[in-house]
Homo-oligomer: A and B are copies of this chain.
Amino acid sequence: MTQPLDFQSIIFTLQKFWADQGCLIWQPYYSQVGAGTYNPATFLRVLGPEPWNVGYVEPSVRADDGRYGENPNRLQQHYQFQVILKPDPGNPQELYLKSLEALGIDSRQHDIRFVEDNWESPALGAWGLGWEVWLDGQEITQFTYFQQSGGIQLDPVSVEITYGLERIAMPLQRVRHFKDIRWNAEHNYGDMNMQGEQEHSRYYFDVADVERSRQLYSLYEQEANLALEKGLVLPAYDYLLKCSQTFNVLDTRGVIGVTERQALFSRMREVAHRVSEQYLEQRQRQEYPWMKDDTLSSLVGASVRRRKASEDMPTRPVLFTTPQEFLFEIGTEELPASDLQSALAQLKERLPAVLDDLRLPHDEVIILGTPRRLVASVANLAARQADRTQLVKGPQASRAFDAMGLPTKAAEGFAKSRGIDVKALEVREIDGGKYAAAEVTESGRPAVEVLSEALPKLIAAIKFDKPMRWNSSNVYFSRPIRWLLALFGGRVVPFEYAGVQSGAVTRGLRFLDPAEIEVKTSQEYFTALAAQGILLDPEIRRHSIADQVIRLAIEAGGSDKLDETLLDEVNQLVEAPTALRGAFEESHLRLPPEVLISVMKKHQRYFPAQTPDGRLLPVFIAVRNGDDQYLDIVTDGNEQVIRARYADAAFFIDQDLHHKLEDFLPRLGTLIFQTKLGSMLDKSRRIERLVEPLSPEVGVQDMDTVRRAAHLCKADLVTHMVVEMTSLQGLMGRYYALYSGETEAVAQAIYEHYLPRFAGDDNPRSPAALVIGLADRLDSLAGLFAAGLAPTGTRDPFAQRRTALGLVQALTAWDLDFDVRQGLALASEGLPVPSTPEIQKACLEFIAGRLRSVLVEQENYRYDVVDAVLAAQQHNPAGAVRAVKQLAPRVTQPDWPTILPAYARCVRITRDQAQQFPLDPNALVEPAEKELCQALLKVEATPRRPGSMEDFLNAFLPIIPAISRFFEEVLVMVDDPALRANRLGLLQRIALLPKGVADFSFLEGF
């Protein structure tokens, strides 16, 4: 084995490799950036239509990744090698994999994977779809199809490849820690950068002056805007980068609250957008100097040329006469798990329908797929469409035939236009009129012809939640389509989609030979892929994975229980699954198991192993894509990854455990919630005050727990572990609380006050957690509305929708009647900004809007039912839900069309009356009105629970016959004013009966 490349040679090699591919080799930027993406050679050059291919090193600074040099692969500064290919050359994954080969990575010895990872920079208004590339579980590269930058849609899309050079060097050189990477013959990486890692980590985490950093941010921003005013794009961009880095420093110091973060992002995004717009304008004014006829979109050029060739020499398809097998494969770059699942489901539903529409009879349709291919196989598909006879309708008979019964000019014209012999026209009666018409028989066309037309549409009809574009065809798909196989009876069904021409060639498992396989039949196809270990059938694949994982788990002393969701996901990530078991240090088991499991599942898609009694074992089970060759190397690589991740978590938690949870409280003062609403400490104190009046409403018994938990509920936000992984908020709070000697109830309430965090999440189990959660959310909503920061249709930077939903979900789950109006009023009293009844009303309506959307869109209640109830009960979510549930079945019963109109008449006839008429039962004259009055008084006398729809309906429905009789027998609007007033008064009282329960005028049919 030759000596592995040293670090500087890795860089040389990549420079040379990409230069040889025609990339310009560029230099790192002269400003601290978080990634190569921030270099203007990416950020600006991806804009606009000009082609651009570039590669460069970028020393990338990420303050919050600093680990004082202690973590094996996390650094405050790491080296990226960044490549931009614009437009997509058609084979960027293959080019990338070749570059790994050039570095000396033998793909057969490793598990190299493209794992869905979508990239977004909120500060730059940029995002793209793509993958992390994993080498034995380690992320070594980010591979992205850039969709937007600076808030501007990119056309063409750029391919962005970002190598993490340390992550590549470590396995290549077989070293365990970044410091041991050999840089050249003389020095290692630690020689060069260890001091920097230690010092900058200290600076970013412990030393940087917060006040000065804020001043710097502000000066940079002002200077960026000044430059923009003067039309100076690049200087403005430089200051934006400085803003971004200063933001990162502040963030690492832990002083940026959620809401301030959003505000700062939004300001940076605004600058990024203006920079991008002005840059594009410049290029446009310069008439896109890099546009050259011969270089524009090389790939598309190639495919265009190919298409032309096929037009010149159309390959006459063989016309079969008997049914044939049809095989269809959409070959893609690695699809995200959920997209694969969804695409398979869509194909399963649509393909048979499409074939039926095409009048192509067939036997079984089988849909299969892996991350790299969607496959349909149809047995015995008819070789031709069935013939079809249709009646073609022409002009009216009177216009089509003259008095003599001979066809007129109109008839001739029509016949000619439809290619029908005019003599075939006859008079037919259609929909009660008489028309000239003809029966036309259309012969079925060959299947291969209609499939050529239908298959592009079939692909186009597959929809994804987050689709992308990649080349100048600008079609959308989950990930780029790279080959299309379509065989009917072993012959190619010719068509083109997304710049790709259909053919008879499939591709095998990555890294196996041959990479491309020409097949003649379905049988050949399935045999070839099976030979490479690809399990095309998701069900079979899933079983295979489950079996392997469970076997390994049991071997390690674990139970046979599997996380089915994870299994589903892993199943969509591999073509040829082989499970392997790795181990990590027992010492990490002292960390909270939630943290360990969360890292395994979320970051690495590893299966944890737990003993039958739930104890976590120091092992993990990973599923590689490929066979069991070199499994030891792959396992070792994966072990390094999890070790580094756990070392990271341990590092944070150890730091945090130097203090009691309570000790963190003062630092909340430096974490800004929102400028006008103060720090998180201020907010935390408001919560403490607010739980006092709210607790009786919720029925809290144990005020000690409430008070203590409210006091501590936000303290974990400034712990290192939560600053690092915000998703652990609450969870770490519980853990640290127990460690600090708090009671189990307090610890649990700290955790649960965040519940529910998303639809379907657990709800708080204790009243203490419930009331703290209520107080927290009421404070946020009342506060942000009072601060003039209500969300708009498109912007919800403070996640107020989520907050309102949580409020509604919790109250509903507890089925707790609670007056949100009062809650908001109480919360408003404690705010540092003034509130008004109008503001609180707007806030209430916003909350009710969330409840409405849950009921209508998620629980599928009729919108009119929901609106009717909310019109009366929006202040009490639990009550409203109850009422909706009771009303909904009622309005679908057969008698409802008589009930509602009866009540509606009472309302409509009285609606325009300005005054409320008193009812004098004794002044009533007609029996029908007397009867109605009796019935009314009886309803009014029936005891009902406030807001209860059930009680209302039970009491009210019996009155309906009396109403009907009343309107049949009594004239309300008589001339006698007194009589009329009394009757109106009677109806007004009826109209008022549902008050506080619902407003039935919102119902359909009212």
Contact = CB atoms under 8 A, between A and B. Distances in A.
Interface of A: 8, 11-12, 15-16, 19, 22-33, 53, 57, 59, 61, 77, 79, 183-187, 191-192, 195-196, 199-200, 202-203, 206-209, 212, 215-216, 219, 222-223, 226-227, 230, 232-235, 282, 289-290, 295
Nearest to A29: B30
A312 B53 CA distance: 63
A12 B16 contact: yes
Contacts of A295: 186
Contacts of A22: 184-186
B30 A61 contact: yes
Given A25-B8, A28-B30, A184-B25, A207 B226 contact: yes
Contacts of A57: 27
Given A12-B15, A199-B233, A290-B191, A59 B30 contact: yes
Contacts of A191: 289-290
B199 A226 contact: no
Contact of A223 (B61, B212, B226): B212
A195 B233 contact: yes
Given A30-B33, A30-B59, A212-B219, 16 more contacts: A8-B24, A22-B184, A22-B185, A23-B184, A24-B192, A27-B28, A28-B30, A53-B186, A199-B233, A199-B235, A206-B230, A207-B227, A207-B230, A208-B223, A216-B219, A219-B219
A203 B231 CA distance: 10
B27 A232 contact: no
Contacts of A199: 232-235
A846 to B, nearest CB: 40
A288 to B, nearest CB: 12
B31 A195 contact: no
A202 B222 CA distance: 17
Contact of A222 (B26, B32, B209): B209
Given A59-B30, A191-B289, A232 B202 contact: yes
9 contacts: A8-B25, A12-B25, A27-B28, A30-B59, A186-B295, A195-B234, A199-B234, A216-B216, A216-B219
Contact of A203 (B16, B25, B77, B232): B232
Given A223-B208, A235-B207, A24 B61 contact: no
Contact of A219 (B207, B215, B233): B215
A206 B219 CA distance: 18
A51 B15 CA distance: 28
Nearest to A55: B8
Contact of A212 (B53, B185, B207, B222): B222
A184 B24 contact: yes
A207 B79 CA distance: 34
Tally of this chain's copies: 2
Contacts of A208: 223
10 A-B pairs with the lowest CB-CB distances in the bound complex, closest first: A203-B235, A8-B25, A199-B232, A24-B184, A199-B234, A30-B32, A28-B28, A212-B219, A196-B234, A207-B230
A781 to B, nearest CB: 37
B202 A226 contact: no
Contacts of A219: 212, 215-216, 219
Nearest to A186: B24
A226 B209 contact: yes
A227 B27 CA distance: 29
A283 to B, nearest CB: 9
A202 B230 contact: yes
Nearest to A41: B192
B200 A234 contact: yes
A11 B25 contact: yes
A184 B18 CA distance: 12
A997 B16 CA distance: 83
A183 B30 contact: no
A79 B195 contact: no
A177 to B, nearest CB: 16
Nearest to A57: B27
A79 B27 contact: yes
A30 B31 contact: yes
A16 B24 CA distance: 18
A620 to B, nearest CB: 36
Contacts of A230: 202-203, 206-207
Contacts of A183: 24
Contacts of A12: 12, 15-16, 19, 25
Nearest to A292: B186
A195 B289 CA distance: 12
A22 to B, nearest CB: 7
A233 B23 CA distance: 38
Contacts of A24: 8, 183-184, 186-187, 192
Contact of A215 (B8, B209, B215): B215
Contacts of A196: 234
Contacts of A207: 226-227, 230, 232, 235
A202 B231 CA distance: 10
A57 to B, nearest CB: 6
A31 B32 contact: yes
A209 to B, nearest CB: 6
A79 B23 CA distance: 19
A80 to B, nearest CB: 11
B59 A27 contact: yes
Contacts of A25: 8, 11-12, 184
A703 B776 CA distance: 80
B200 A235 contact: yes
A628 to B, nearest CB: 40
A9 to B, nearest CB: 8
Contacts of A26: 192
Contact of A227 (B30, B203, B226): B203
A147 to B, nearest CB: 25
Contacts of A16: 12
Contacts of A203: 227, 230, 232, 235
Pick the most buried of A19, A30, A219: most chain B CB atoms within 10 A of its CB: A30
Nearest to A197: B234
Contacts of A290: 187, 191
Contacts of A77: 30
Nearest to A15: B12
Nearest to A51: B186
Nearest to A45: B192
Contacts of A27: 28, 57, 59, 79
A781 B142 CA distance: 64
Nearest to A289: B191
Nearest to A206: B230
A30 B80 CA distance: 13
A226 B53 CA distance: 43
A297 to B, nearest CB: 15
A237 to B, nearest CB: 10
A186 B291 CA distance: 11
A908 to B, nearest CB: 68
A550 B873 CA distance: 106
Nearest to A216: B219
Contacts of A192: 24, 26
A434 to B, nearest CB: 72
A230 B16 CA distance: 42
Pick the most buried of A24, A192, A202, A282: most chain B CB atoms within 10 A of its CB: A24
A37 to B, nearest CB: 15
A184 B631 CA distance: 43
Contacts of A289: 191
A173 to B, nearest CB: 16
A11 B230 CA distance: 35
Nearest to A33: B30
Nearest to A231: B199
Nearest to A226: B209
Pick the most buried of A33, A77, A234: most chain B CB atoms within 10 A of its CB: A234
